[in-house]
Amino acid sequence: MAELKRLSESRDLTRIERIGAHSHIRGLGLDSALEARAVSEGMVGQQSARKAAGLILQLIREGKIAGRAILLAGQPGTGKTAIAMGLAKSLGQETPFATVSGSELFSLEMSKTEALTQAFRRAIGVRIKEEAEIIEGEVIELTIDRPAAAGGGASGSGQSSSASKTGKLTLKTTDMETVYDLGAKMIEALTKEKVQSGDVITLDKASGKVTKLGRSIGRSRDYDAVGPHTKFVRCPEGELQKRKEVVHCVTLHEIDVINSRTQGFLALFTGDTGEIRAEVREQIDTKVAEWREEGKAEIVPGVLFIDEVHMLDIECFSFLNRALENDMAPILVIATNRGITTIRGTNYRSPHGIPADFLDRLLIICTQPYTEEETRKILDIRCEEEDVEMSKDAKVLLTKIGAETSLRYAINLITAAALACQKRKGKIVEMEDISRVYQLFLDVKRSTQYLMEYQSQYMFNEVPREADEDETTQF
């Protein structure tokens, strides 16, 4: 019994670990007219910022604003990263979305410009089209003959038996039915995919790859019970042999890595790509341009999101200025919570720590602090996401704490209060749990106040300030 309890606890822990700060966001929460709903898809408030992001989203989908840059500017905890995440979710699977933090570039074992180039190329997709000959149909019968190996206990009998396997496959569509003789390779592929009578399958003639599309609807009554993952599909129409257009979606960076001989395609899995030579990239760009002219490929400009953009230095901004003018540039979305601050690498101060010439290129979206009502709605969503039941009074208290301190601090107290509730063997988080964790964990204001009261007891506070001033005047 104790073991079962431990197992359930570990499962619950795994689930909580998977919940991120923005895991509740599923889109921008806009209607068909690109108007922001009050609460939708995990987004709350920030109507004007979300509406602006919606217009950008529409232009991205139409492929009209490649090479443009958008700045999300606002106070900490006002939902800048949430808007970028909502934009990424709304774009869908095929549009590439690469995210990088400004401070990451300084910790990589490569130059800053190379790291930015790789980030740019991760955000540009290539949709490659190719025609393949396939056989598609419903399996009527699959028979595999396994003749007994000659020579009884000979050491190679197993190999000779597998080589001499023969079989027949009967496939049909709504219009025709054909029997195919199978070789050893095809038998192995069909066995691996566990193909049986009643399955609808696709065979690639060039590679011999077998893909199981699902069970035929006509066979749905053959079984009383089926698994939850069983997919029923209609029997294919027309001829068995067809020419089908296959579309592969890859990013330019993936093509770079595969064609860079020093790393090879395995670098895609290890992540250790290193620096890629400019000649390789030029050849790839030329080849992709040829494919575009021939109609074999299509460029999908994606989104590159750079958070903490004030951490970039003057060299990075200079590179971004040039990179945005390139023909194959993605949409650049950057975010910062700084006001007028020094540009890294210079002694000049500028709005958001961004040089004036680069700032002039940006479409700026501002985020506003959340109201108390919006804070309450966000806390409701986070309680649901973190699977925490909380009483109305506790939510009112948590909202008040969020309004006086910060939204992030209030969100951090949710799981902590749930653990305090669990400790006293309660089922619903009450006000006493909130007040308990509020006393245990300090917010920024109380921490600063505590520090000012007890600063004399901390290190490097032994020498009084007056003595320091006297010493400086002597010199």
Cα distance between residue 186 and residue 421, in whole Å: 59
Let me know: does 76 contact 411? Beta carbons within 8 Å: no
Per-residue model confidence (pLDDT) at position 261: 61
Per-residue model confidence (pLDDT) at position 270: 55
Outline where 302-461 has alpha helix (H).
Answer: 314-323, 356-359, 372-385, 392-404, 407-423, 431-440, 444-453
Which of 93-107, 112-126, 172-186, 203-217 comes out lowest in average pLDDT? 203-217
Q: E strands along 150-302, which residues?
A: 166-172, 177-182, 199-204, 210-216, 232-233, 241-251, 297-301
Residue-wise pLDDT for 241-288, tens only, equals 777 777 778 888 888 888 776 555 555 555 556 778 888 888 888 888
Mean pLDDT of 342-369: 88
Q: Give the torsion sign (CA, 347, 353, 356, 358).
A: positive
**Residue 31: which residues within 8 A CB-CB, separation 6 or more?**
37
Closest by CA to 79, choosing from 164, 142, 145, 21, is 21
Per-residue model confidence (pLDDT) at position 158: 45
Domains with residue ranges and CATH for the chain:
1-12+19-126+252-366 (3.40.50.300), 130-146+163-246 (2.40.50.360), 372-457 (1.10.8.60)
Strands 166-172 and 39-40: unpaired
Let me know: does 91 contact 61? Beta carbons within 8 Å: yes
Let me know: does 300 contact 126? Beta carbons within 8 Å: yes
Residue-wise pLDDT for 101-151, tens only, equals 888 888 777 888 888 888 888 888 888 887 778 888 888 888 887 765 544
Instruction: Give the CA dihedral 347, 348, 351, 354, nearest 10 degrees.
Output: -80
Q: Look over the chain and give the mean of its residue pLDDT values, rounded to a whole number.
A: 78
pTM over 0.75: no
372-385 vs 392-404: helix axis angle to the nearest 10? Answer: 120
Closest by CA to 210, choosing from 146, 281, 137, is 137
Per-residue model confidence (pLDDT) at position 11: 39
**Residue 28: which residues within 8 A CB-CB, separation 6 or more?**
36, 41, 43, 50, 53, 54, 57, 83, 86, 87, 89, 90
The values of phi and psi at residue 230, to 5°, are -70, 125
Cα distance between residue 419 and residue 430, in whole Å: 12
Phi-psi region of 89 (alpha: psi -120 to 50; beta: other; left: phi over 0): alpha
Let me know: does 288 contact 297? Beta carbons within 8 Å: yes
